[in-house]
Structure 1
Amino acid sequence: MTESTQDAQEFWEEFYGGHEKVWSGRVNAQLADVAADLAPGRALDLGCGEGADAIWLAEDGWQVVAVDVSANALERARAAAERRGVAVRIRFGRHDLSTSFPDGRFDLVSAQFLHSPVTLDREAVLRRAAEAVTVGGRLLIVDHGAAPPWAGEHVHEHHFATVEEVLAGMDLDGRQWERLRAETVDRDAVGPDGQAATLTDNVILLRRLDTQAASWKISPSV
Structure 2
Amino acid sequence: MLTTPQVMAMFQGTIVTIQLTVVAIIAGIMLGVVLALGRISKSRFLNSITWFYVWVFRGTPLLMQLFIIVYAIPLFTLDVFGAPVRLPLLVAAAVAYSLNSAAYLAEIFRAGIQSIDKGQMEASKALGMSYYQAMFKIIIPQAYRRLIPPVGNELIMLLKDTSLVASIGLFDLLRTVNQMSNATGRWYYYIYAAVVYLFLTSIVQLGFERIEKRYSIYD
TM-score range normalised by the length of the shorter chain? under 0.3
**Bigger strand share:** 1
Q: Which has the larger radius of gyration?
A: 2
Normalised by the length of structure 1, the TM-score is 0.25
Normalised by the length of structure 2, the TM-score is 0.25
**Bigger helix share:** 2
